[in-house]
């Protein structure tokens, strides 16, 4: 591969439900190592913690009205 050469890597999208203390970035890194390839997280979004959920969230505009 040369500088500036474009290439496409496979992308896998997952939804993971886990307990507190789980290190998702480490989990993905370990998965990549076990597959013999690299692994990294392009995007990570927490959708709930404890009793809080993004389902119950309000937008900034709703908050300041």
For the stretch 8-50, pLDDT in tens is 878 889 899 988 899 999 999 999 999 998 888 989 999 999 9
Strands (E), 1-65: 48-49, 52-53
Task: Enter the tokens of residue 55.
Answer: 């389902």
Higher pLDDT, 5 or 43: 43
């Amino acid at each position: 591969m040369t500088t500036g050469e474009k290439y496409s890597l496979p992308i896998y999208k997952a939804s993971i439900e886990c307990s507190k203390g789980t290190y998702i970035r480490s989990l993905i890194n370990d998965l990549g190592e076990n597959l013999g390839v690299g692994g990294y997280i392009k995007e990570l979004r927490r959708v709930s913690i404890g009793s809080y959920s993004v389902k119950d969230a309000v937008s900034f505009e709703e908050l300041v009205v």
